[in-house]
Structure 1
Amino acid sequence: MPAPSNSVSVFAPASIGNVSVGFDVLGLAVKPIDGTLLGDVVTVSATDGESNLTVVGQFANKLPANKEDNIVWSCLQLFNQALQASNQAVANVALTLDKKMPVGSGLGSSACSVVAALAALNDFYAKYHDFSFDKKTILKMTGEMEAQISGSLHYDNVAPCYLGGLQLMVPDEDIISRALPLFDDCYYVMAYPGIEVSTKAAREVLPTSYSRADLIAYGQNLATFVDACHRQDKAQAFSVLHDVVAEPYRKGLLPKFQQAHDYLIAQGALGVGISGSGPTLFCISDSEQHAKQFALWLQDNYLQTEQGFVHVCKASDDGVAQL
């Protein structure tokens, strides 16, 4: 369906939060190699009436019917507050969320909606009202919205979704994240089994404290992975792709995960892990042929409902993009 005149449509891609080795501090944006839009689309259009929100798409029925409870509507309120604080006039707009992402999938579903909404609003004002916020301001807004949803501030989905690539979150409010060099020949097989795992439930199963041995292992693995990315040492990077923080406790929430993990590693996968809070599994290969074989196996052995899907992906270098 063509977009209305005086409108902007923006797509925000799925992401792998944590990437196993970097709990809450690593995230990777991904896109299917077949061109499928794995993510959400938000369209912002001028309207003569009051601002409004329409939700369409495959997973629209999973969202609240009341617009005030929808995060895209909350994004509009936040954006309008920022406009007023900047002494800018607030326009009435019609928002349309095309919800292509399953809720509670571990693919950064809420991040997709938040990033697409705020980026679309910013692009709309840039195009039709000669005003826009800089990237850092929009990124901070996405973090604020994610904190509102999950109860804690973490950028590991919104940063890669917005900026693209592999992002490392840094403890500096003026920087927020740094892009890490990618391994361009790698494929990421994303398998969503079709069941929902809430981020809240996935966080509640985690221990409140960790042993010194786990702390050392986490720091060593993450530091080695970051170093290997910069040196483009693929073997070293994926040899330490182990999750000592979340996977040991969350895998019990994911039927068939351990079986799939063990099979894929035995078949030569460079790494297998839980995407974000799950239940999506990600598998890494530097062979497109092997990645497609892994995808077929996961299709037959990991999916549990008709809502499930498997995509062979590459890293999404661009992140959010106008359509």
Structure 2
Amino acid sequence: MIKIYAPASIGNIGVGFDILGAAITPINNSLLGDCVTIKPSNKLEIYNIGEFSYQLPKNFQKNIIYKTWKIFCKILKKKIPITIILEKNLPIGSGLGSSASSIVASTLALNKFFETKLSKKKLLKIMGKLEGYISGSIHYDNVSPSFLGGVQLIINKKKISQKIPIFKNWLWIIAWPGVQLSTSISRDILPHRYSREICVQQNRNLSTFIHALYTKQEKLALKMMKDLIAEPYRIPLLKKFDIVKKNLLKIGAKTCHISGSGPTIFSICNNSEIAEISQIWLKKNFLENKKGFVYICKINNNGAIQLR
């Protein structure tokens, strides 16, 4: 039996639309992410368990886990019956890399179980392809950090991604309000064209942010976390975002942004007391129902791991 855990992730990290992603884990070490267990079987069986399993399609052939199994069957040139159990701990359409977590966990579990011994690059390409089935296009800003850990810069099709440094004292407060937001809706709302001025400023913000990370200029990095490509157009899709950001900054948080396509938001603090106050405030003022949650997180540098 094989069991793999793949952590949640923050796509974009504010300034890096589609080219930056970070794996996160709660400071209380709880497993914020999906798990996939594989057992030998006489027939193909796929079971969904976990708090958010009810959100998955009832037809198992529409489940991304099934599509992952089919890819490995093609690699092996034969269909091998197994039992796959998906523990769905991340809500779908949350902006926390929910599909990426399932994809990473299932891909690594199948690679381990079938002993295919695929390279990291090959595994990443499979993960990107599977992500494309869900989002409509291949992208790696969630699968790469969930798989490899840390903050990942997506480079190109050949190298795919590379881990970049991040400030160790940063605490990442993530808050999911308890409602879904379709990734396709979040993407469709974006303009098809941008002015030269916006493109130049976005490039300046991103390049300076990366420079600040490598030169350990924390204040400069925080100052440059300004997105002009996606966030301004997605803010109307999130209730009370402007109010929430204003209050978090007033409390002492350093920044506040939309996580991935939303509706999860993330805020960065470099003080544990302020992080705890921010967490309490978000629980009272941002969550829309009992399903919502708020975690104080740190960067997960390990990425996906085998639990059994």
Match of 2:23 in 1: 29
* Mapped pair 1:80 → 2:73: yes
Work out the CA distance in 1 between the residues paired with 2:79 and 2:117: 12
**Is the 8 Å Cα contact of residues 251 and 277 (structure 2) preserved in structure 1?**
no
Report deviation, 1:35. 1.7
Aligned Cα root-mean-square deviation (Å): 1.0
Match of 2:205 in 1: 221
TM-score, normalised via structure 2 length: 0.98
Unaligned runs of 5+ in 1: 1-6
Structure 1 moving runs of 4+ over 6 Å: none
Work out the CA distance in 2 between the residues paired with 1:8 and 1:19: 32
3-state SS in 2 of match to 1:220: helix
Unaligned runs of 5+ in 2: none
3-state SS in 2 of match to 1:292: helix
Work out the CA distance in 2 between the residues paired with 1:315 and 1:201: 28
**Is the 8 Å Cα contact of residues 94 and 263 (structure 2) preserved in structure 1?**
yes
3-state SS in 1 of match to 2:96: coil
* Mapped pair 1:162 → 2:147: yes
Q: Counterparts of 1:55-74 in structure 2 under 5 Å?
A: 55-74=48-67
Match of 2:118 in 1: 133
> What is the identity percentage for the equivalent residue pairs of Structure 1 and Structure 2?
41
Match of 2:105 in 1: 116
Q: Counterparts of 1:94-105 in structure 2 under 5 Å?
A: 94-105=83-94
* Mapped pair 1:321 → 2:282: no
Work out the CA distance in 1 between the residues paired with 2:275 and 2:69: 39
The residue type paired with residue 254 of structure 1 is L
**Is the 8 Å Cα contact of residues 181 and 263 (structure 2) preserved in structure 1?**
yes
* Mapped pair 1:241 → 2:225: yes
Q: Deviations over 1:66-102 (max 9, x none)?
A: 1001011111111221233xxxx65321100000000
3-state SS in 1 of match to 2:191: coil
3-state SS in 2 of match to 1:11: strand
Work out the CA distance in 2 between the residues paired with 1:43 and 1:214: 46
Match of 1:3 in 2: none
Q: Deviations over 1:126-147 (max 9, x none)?
A: 3xxxx41111111110000011
Work out the CA distance in 1 between the residues paired with 2:168 and 2:154: 21
Work out the CA distance in 2 between the residues paired with 1:179 and 1:153: 19
Alignment equivalent of 1:188, drawn from 144, 148, 172: 172
Report deviation, 1:231. 1.1
Q: Deviations over 1:12-36 (max 9, x none)?
A: 0000000010000000000001121
The residue type paired with residue 71 of structure 1 is I
The residue type paired with residue 95 of structure 1 is I
Work out the CA distance in 2 between the residues paired with 1:235 and 1:8: 44
* Mapped pair 1:142 → 2:127: yes
3-state SS in 2 of match to 1:235: helix
The residue type paired with residue 132 of structure 2 is A
Q: Deviations over 1:248-284 (max 9, x none)?
A: 1101010011111111122221221000000001000
TM-score, normalised via structure 1 length: 0.93
Match of 1:4 in 2: none
